[in-house]
Amino acid sequence: MTTACSDRRIPDNSTLARRQFIKASAMAMATTMAAGKATGALPILPAATVVSETSLDVVWNKAPCRFCGTGCHVQVGVQNGRVVAIAGDRDAEVNKGLLCVKGYHVGGILYGQDRLTHPLLKVGDHYRKITWDEAIDVIADRIMAAPSRFAFYGSGQWTIPEGYAAQKFMKGGLGNNHIDPNARLCMASAVTGFLATYGVDEPAGCYDDLDHCDVLIMWGNNPAEMHPVLFSRVTDRRLRGEQVLMIDIGTRRTRTTEKCQHYLEMKGHGDLAIANGIAHQLIKNKTYNRQFVEKYCNFKAPDDANPNLHGRTITFEEYQKLLEPYTPEYVQQVAGVHAEQIVMLGELFGNPNLRITSLWCMGMNQHTRGTAINNLVHGIHLLSGHFGRPGDAPTSLTGQPSACGTVREVGTLAHGLPGGLVVSNPQHRAEAERIWNLPAGRINPNPGYHTVLMWEKFCTPSDQGGDIDTIWVQVTNPGQSLPNLNKLFRPKADLKEKFLIVSEVYPTATTQLADLILPSAMWVEKNGMFGNSERRTQQWFKMVEPAGEARDDCWQTIAVARRLFDRGLDGMKDRDGRFIFDVRDQDGNVVAVWDWEHYYNVNVDEFLFNEYRAFSRFKHKDLAPYAEYVKARGLRWPVLEVDGHWRETKFRFVEGADPYVATGKGIQFYHSSTNDDRAQIWFHPWEPPAETPCDEFPLYLTTGRVLEHWHTGTMTRRIPQLSRAMPGAYLEIHPEDARQAGISSGDMVDVESRRGTIRLPAWISGRGYPPQGTVFVPFFDEMHLINDLTLDAHDPFSKEPDYKKSAVRIKKASGQ
Amino acid sequence: MISSLLVQFSPHADQASVLQMLADHPQIDVGTQVPSGTLPVVIEAEHRGELNGLHDWIASLPGVAAVEVVMVYFDSQNATQ
Ligand code: SF4
């Protein structure tokens, strides 16, 4: 037992008052939480009252949460140069003062004991501390030796200015286009789904839909754990007595299922058949919205001879014919759900008086037919006319805080340019070269390598076609998050000609193979901007100094660019011979921002963002000036100035709500790929997954996340409260599968796929409930790398791999 | 450091004696139990090691099924100790 120490410090009066106050706040939070449990609410906590307390010498400032794509705002309390408290931000529309358990502990991510604090160069089998100057030279040497064989790998955790700097450095500077983010692994299929349907990326609606829908359908989505604050917006409405019908379509029961009135347990890829089954019902019952379809939609089917995102145009009659096989009975057969459930969904979509919101995230995106299922869900909303009213929309969610802002909008994908432009389009390249003041022809027209291909090339010997020699990783952990790690990451260990640079905050599975490790500043140790899942751009200021010699990722990129400029690399010069990051102060003088001593002499974020803004107008994703985001808790684009005020847009393509819709149009898909203001309703056939269980590997493995840990757990596992609540990965298994294998809860189990094996403890009837024939393993635990087993097969358009359907076998570990 | 916790009792726990032990501890404040049987408590410690020790002690009390952390307030120097 721990006892009170006899030599405890005697606190003075002000300290005592402060402690009493904090204890009272802590008790209030715990009591609210306990009361929430009693009514079956989610682990969402109300805003701490500490925000209103000003007598504690704690300075409070706003920032978005560092974790998920919900984009909750927190108030960060800083005292004596350290983050000492976190509270939900009551002025934030997204979360209205609420935070999930991860958000409440977000301040702790800065203070893990093993922060990386010095640049480290691998020499033989150990690491040597080097100076930043030496580190920048090492990177410059690698790039100068082979600029076309260098790649940059980032993420949706890059801030918008960081991603923009990396994008300009690669596409405007080096011109090899080998830049891609880890968001390729989580939401690329949503992008191709939006593009193929509306001709432009990102949701038409926003989180307000959750406040207005009558029916919420979650497609392979577990927001109760992954986006808990958003989910609570709906469950809270029900607690207030509102009627909201919640439907979970998934491959395992989760905490989300517990709150839903209906659960459709489908087989992997069953979603394709379910969506087609709903469309079939709408047409058979003549309950589709004929007027909406005739006014605003075309029909498309895949062009098998020339697969692309435009497909081939078909008539309504052809569409109807293609759907004929998808009777409720056939859908039951291939998807595993009950025929009556398809009839029920058909009736709901056929009811024009309801408002229906569809939500999805990884379940539909990490799918070898990810583009197709995204198209189909948009399609049933369009076919039924459940589009264009608050609460009536298909809305995708993202897992990372700036997957939308940095990846989709800044365009840090191998084919993209900022603002939704693409490198393969000559006009787009010309526009980018104009804004960046580059000589004509600087931007390479060939897309670079997407994530899977980039890492495959890096892990292939240089003399065998492996033409990526150096990768610089920032703000992500591919050594844990890539699929099929034994193919896409681990071979690097034996390839001496390959060089891995990793900018990181903590040691990770990726730094284990790094040749050069750069310590990075994180979250409120730097200025930043994120863009969340609802098109909301958010801004924050640096509040504390980074640990040791850690520095901003954006500075690192600019410093390397400058070193290359100084060495005479033409790509780092603009048309007038000036450095491509020509940052000026208010008087027009060049600021040496490549020198860390001067980096914060000006606001580099503001400079980069205001330059980037010029791109945002091409696809009507207009952003306001930086200063507007300083004042707001984020603004949803397009943001236009109306009567001297910057006005955000809640619902796109709808007259009255979207300023780009012409008067009298009602709904106008003004980026239509058919140039007729119409969206495309696609037919795609049901197809089985890339890998299905067989005699040798009889179970499906699906992977995902848990409430307590974010992504690969490198931050949340360093927070004791979260780590203790969920200490390690486990194998979730159905009781009958466990019984047949002689496995009890807690037994160690060997899980094996065609690609690898890991050993994990079993958890029967644990957090989630997989059906017989399916097992689930979360991916947050670097001690149990489930991606040793997953498949790298990917969607042909989005190139996003399927982490949800690998065939495995299990065996109780020997020696038990 | 200050942390608030939720203490869950097992169905047949002798809650009265556990409540007494918690109330007697000088570093623990006991809140009002809600009908579900969940008890909010606040603990105060000098450093993380002590906080962990208190947490583990509560978790080890007879009849305590689980202890969940709600929030932690970490003072300047002691956060990573
Ligand atoms: S993790 Fe996501 S839901 Fe939780 S507080 Fe942060 S942004 Fe909000």
Give residue-wise pLDDT tens across range A462-507. 999 999 999 999 999 999 999 999 999 999 999 999 999 999 999 9
Amino acid A117: pLDDT: 97
Q: Is the pLDDT of residue A530 over 60?
A: yes
Task: Look at chain B and count its residues.
Answer: 81
Q: Does A105 touch chain B (CB under 8 A)?
A: yes
Q: What is the mean pLDDT of residues A308-335?
A: 98
Q: Is the pLDDT of residue A19 over 90?
A: no
If pLDDT is split at 50, 70 and 90, which confidence band does A11 have?
A: very low
Percent of chain A scoring above 70 in pLDDT: 94
Question: Which of residues A10 and A664 earns the better pLDDT score?
Answer: A664
Amino acid A210: pLDDT: 97
Q: What is the mean pLDDT of residues B21-25?
A: 92
Amino acid A726: pLDDT: 85
Burial degree of A671 (CB within 10 A; 0-12, 13-18, 19+): buried
Q: Is the pLDDT of residue A612 over 90?
A: yes
Amino acid A366: pLDDT: 96
The DSSP 8-state label assigned to residue A491 in this structure reads G
Amino acid A32: pLDDT: 63
**Chain A residues lying within 8 Å of B55, measured CB to CB:** 724
Q: What is the mean pLDDT of residues B28-57?
A: 83
Q: Does B80 touch chain A (CB under 8 A)?
A: yes
Q: Which residue in the set A4, A9, A111 is minimally distant from B27, CB to CB?
A: A4
Residues A180-235: tens digit of each pLDDT: 999 999 999 999 999 999 999 999 999 999 999 999 999 999 999 899 899 989 98
Evaluate: CB of A629 within 6 angstroms of ligand 1.
no
Longest dimension (CA), chain A: 84
Entry pTM: 0.87
Q: What is the mean pLDDT of residues A529-539?
A: 97
Q: Are A23 and A29 in contact (CB under 8 A)?
A: no
Amino acid B74: pLDDT: 58
Nearest chain A residue (CA) to B4: A26
Question: Which of residues A721 and A730 earns the better pLDDT score?
Answer: A730
Amino acid A496: pLDDT: 95
Evaluate: CB of A207 within 6 angstroms of ligand 1.
no
Amino acid A50: pLDDT: 40
Q: Cβ–Cβ contacts within 10 Å for residue A614, how many?
A: 16
Hey, what domains does chain B have and what are their CATH numbers? 2-73 (3.30.70.920)
Residues of chain A numbered 690-729 and touching chain B (CB < 8 Å): 720-722, 724-725
Question: Which of residues B50 and A171 earns the better pLDDT score?
Answer: A171
Q: Are A719 and A105 in contact (CB under 8 A)?
A: yes
Task: Look at chain A and count its residues.
Answer: 816
Amino acid A87: pLDDT: 83
Longest dimension (CA), chain B: 41
- Minimal CA separation from A29 to chain B, in Å: 7
**Range with the poorest average pLDDT among A616-625, A722-731, A743-752:** A722-731
Residue identified by tokens 């605003």 is A296
Q: Does A45 touch chain B (CB under 8 A)?
A: yes
- Please give the distance of CA A311 from its chain centroid, rounded to a whole number: 27
Amino acid A25: pLDDT: 66
If pLDDT is split at 50, 70 and 90, which confidence band does A394 have?
A: very high
Percent of chain A scoring above 90 in pLDDT: 85
Q: Is the pLDDT of residue A398 over 80?
A: yes
Q: Is the pLDDT of residue A15 over 90?
A: no
The DSSP 8-state label assigned to residue A661 in this structure reads S
Q: Ligand 1 centroid to A166 CA: how many Å?
A: 26
Q: Is the pLDDT of residue A750 over 90?
A: yes
Q: What is the mean pLDDT of residues A687-691?
A: 96
If pLDDT is split at 50, 70 and 90, which confidence band does A56 have?
A: low
Q: What is the mean pLDDT of residues A729-740?
A: 95
Residues A26-51: tens digit of each pLDDT: 776 677 666 654 433 334 444 443 43
Q: Is the pLDDT of residue A1 over 90?
A: no
- Minimal CA separation from B20 to chain A, in Å: 15
Q: Which residue in the set B5, B53, B73 is minimally distant from A30, CB to CB?
A: B5
If pLDDT is split at 50, 70 and 90, which confidence band does B35 have?
A: low
Kindly report whether the peptide bond that precedes residue A161 is cis, defined as omega within 30 degrees of 0.
no
CA distances from A763 to A738, A766, A777, B9 (A): 9, 5, 10, 22
- The amino acid sitting at A724 is R
Amino acid A231: pLDDT: 92
B/e letters for A332-369, b = 16+ CB within 10 Å, e = fewer, are bebbbbeeebbbbbbebbbeeebbbbbbbbbbbbbbbb
Question: Is beta strand A245-250 parallel, antiparallel or unpaired with respect to A215-219?
Answer: parallel
Q: Does A305 touch chain B (CB under 8 A)?
A: no
If pLDDT is split at 50, 70 and 90, which confidence band does A407 have?
A: very high
If pLDDT is split at 50, 70 and 90, which confidence band does A427 have?
A: very high
Hey, what domains does chain A have and what are their CATH numbers? 3-111 (2.20.25.90), 120-181+413-529+545-599 (3.40.50.740), 188-397 (3.40.228.10), 699-812 (2.40.40.20)
Q: Is the pLDDT of residue A6 over 80?
A: no
Q: What is the mean pLDDT of residues A309-338?
A: 98
Q: Is the pLDDT of residue A380 over 60?
A: yes
Residues A130-177: tens digit of each pLDDT: 999 999 999 999 999 999 999 999 999 999 999 999 999 999 999 999
Q: Which residues, at least 6 apart from A279, have a Cβ–Cβ distance to it below 8 Å?
A: A288, A323, A326, A376, A379, A380, A383, A683
Q: Is the pLDDT of residue A405 over 50?
A: yes
Closest CA to A58 of A110, A102, A14: A14
Q: Is the pLDDT of residue A54 over 50?
A: no
Atom in ligand 1 nearest the alpha carbon of residue A64:
7
Q: Is the pLDDT of residue B69 over 80?
A: no
Q: Share the mean pLDDT of chain A.
A: 93
Evaluate: CB of A335 within 6 angstroms of ligand 1.
no
Instruction: Answer whether B41 sits within 8 Å of A85, measured CB to CB.
Output: no
